[in-house]
Amino acid sequence: MNWSWPFFFDYITNGLMMRGAWTTVWLSVVSMVLGLGLGIVAALMKMYGNALLRYIAEFYIWLFRGTPILIQLIIIYTGLPQLGIRLTVIESAILGLALNEGAYLAEIIRAGIMSVDKGQDDAARSVGMRWTQRMRFVILPQATRTIIPPLGNQFNGMLKTTSLASVISMEELMRSAQMLAQINFRVLEVYSVAALWYLLLVTIWSAIQVRIEAHYEKPFGPAAAVSPEAEKELKKALQQAGTAKI
Amino acid sequence: MSMDTQPTPQPHAEAPQTRPARGAKTLGEPVVIIENVRKAFGDNEVLRDVSMTIRKSEVVVICGRSGSGKSTLLRCIDQLETIDGGTIRAAGHLMGFRETGGRRVPLRDHEVARQQRDLGMVFQNFNLFPHISVIENIMLAPTRILGRPRAEVKDEARALLARVGLPEKENAYPRQLSGGQQQRVAIARALAMKPKVMLFDEPTSALDPETVSEVLDVMIDLSHAGMTMIVVTHEMGFARAAADRVVLMHGGEIVEDAPPDQFFTAPKSEHTRTFLSKMLSH
């Protein structure tokens, strides 16, 4: 047995690991936001665009869902300079992760838009909304409700997928662990701590996701199905039954 | 030709004698003019050469069995469907087209949207926006589409809610309301854009029987206030109480177009007699 608790606890409070974890967080958020933008544009192009726009969107989705993210990152950072396109590590990591994520999100967003009742589009037209207004005020806000759960799942994945950016020397959590492992050769301790960091980040995100889902469910939630009058009646009945708490 | 069953050129001439309570109503200039409209879904001809004129403040009830084309006609007027032939003029617009040098050019999406602002539509399934509150449903189009100030629009929205009898529901979500309440909010939402014509597509068909009257009462009030209305409905009671004309559609054509008294007591078309006997046997 060669497990060192001192190294383990040292890695937990290690500044390099903490900075790495912070980089993982912001890299995930930035890539997700950009990926979401790309996904919305690709989904709308595929659903409402002319033949050319549809073809471009389908090609993009096909290409980035059909190839490993690892190859995409390496091509962007190491391969593109051959064509005279030089991006920094950070730019390459964000671009690769966002392009990859956008392709997956496009399909999720498309499904969300399709889940909105056709009558909503009729109603939005009937009060005089043009396409952009129908999308912005009526269709997308309702699609969001369907999209949020799988979107949260995607972000959970993103937090861990960023570890692949370590291959292009992006100094996120995985890369920090690799560097520390090379100094002390405490491989098990340092990667265990890295794994704990990922667990912590994912757990925090899960808590946030629950709140976001609750927010978007509010207009539709089961409580909303009960009319205020019925709720009052129910409270009265429960109070009379001796259970004052509701 | 679908118009040969139409009665006299002045179908309202005898209205003052037969219904004195409504005799004071004066109809203005034509607001909706439908000429030779055709519409097909694939091989299915839903509208064949439909023509009719609705004047300002007139209330026209359209009935007919399902598949007769009545809802499609309403949706064509509001440009929720495009027409295959003919002309629809409504609220001063040539719906869906622009005339340039004698040629007709189909309008783009945002140009159609501009025309639709002047027409209000009420749907069978209400189609309220479920993600926002009642007052936001009413305020959305005036504030976001017309860009009017929120405070001013909110006052109007509250007045509209009071008018449809739901002043206490402004912060409720649509799901918290009964069908009849939702439909009254939907009427308020349409009225918020100050339309020149209101189109009702079977507004009470999805309602529980006990809430039908609360919606019809709002519609009758609206007609008394002089609103121009085209109402697709099976509510013959409403037709008797509020309609200036009752139209029967059959197989995509207008087969009867008469004042209510004449429609119910002396219909000219065989289809109307069949339709009425089926309605009465319910």
pLDDT in tens, B178-189: 999 999 999 999
pLDDT at B264: 93
Per CB-CB distance under 8 Å, the chain A contacts of B125 are 119
pLDDT-flagged residues of chain B (< 50): 1-21, 23
B82 interface with A at CB cutoff 8 Å: no
Domain membership of residue B5 (yes or no) is no
Mutation target among A126, A134, A145, A148 for the B interface, most CBs of B within 10 A: A126
B116 interface with A at CB cutoff 8 Å: yes
Domain membership of residue B12 (yes or no) is no
Domains of chain A: 5-240 (1.10.3720.10)
Whether pLDDT at A14 is above 50: yes
Contact B195, B120 (CB under 8 A): yes
List the CATH number of the domain containing B125.
3.40.50.300
Per CB-CB distance under 8 Å, the chain B contacts of A135 are none
Domain membership of residue B154 (yes or no) is yes
pLDDT at A241: 56
Instruction: Determine how β-strand B93-94 pairs with β-strand B85-90.
Output: antiparallel
Determine the structural domain holding residue B31 and report its residue range: 26-280
- Kindly give the interhelix angle for A173-184 and A187-217, rounded to the nearest 10 degrees: 170
Per CB-CB distance under 8 Å, the chain A contacts of B93 are none
Record: contact B79-A123, CB cut-off 8 A: no
pLDDT at B13: 42
Contact A142, B128 (CB under 8 A): no
pLDDT at B28: 84
Smallest CA-to-CA distance from A110 within A31, A52, A155, A45 is with A45
Domain membership of residue B251 (yes or no) is yes
pLDDT in tens, A180-212: 999 988 899 999 999 999 999 999 999 999 999
d(CA A109, CA A113): 6
pLDDT in tens, A133-164: 999 999 999 999 999 999 999 999 999 999 99
Give the residue with greater pLDDT, B21 vs A213.
A213
Domain membership of residue B21 (yes or no) is no
pLDDT in tens, A79-119: 999 999 999 999 999 999 999 999 999 999 999 999 999 99
Domain membership of residue B200 (yes or no) is yes
Per CB-CB distance under 8 Å, the chain B contacts of A227 are 176-178
pLDDT at A58: 97
Record: contact A142-B129, CB cut-off 8 A: yes
Counting the structural domains of chain B, the total is 1
Domain membership of residue B197 (yes or no) is yes
Contact B45, B2 (CB under 8 A): no
What's the whole-number average pLDDT of chain B?
90
A245: confidence class by pLDDT, cuts 50, 70, 90:
very low
A218: confidence class by pLDDT, cuts 50, 70, 90:
confident
Complex ipTM, two decimals? 0.88
Domain membership of residue B8 (yes or no) is no
What distance in Å separates residue A226's CA from the closest CA in chain B? Answer: 6
- Kindly give the interhelix angle for B179-191 and B209-224, rounded to the nearest 10 degrees: 20
* CA angle B212–B214–B218, rounded 5-degree value: 115
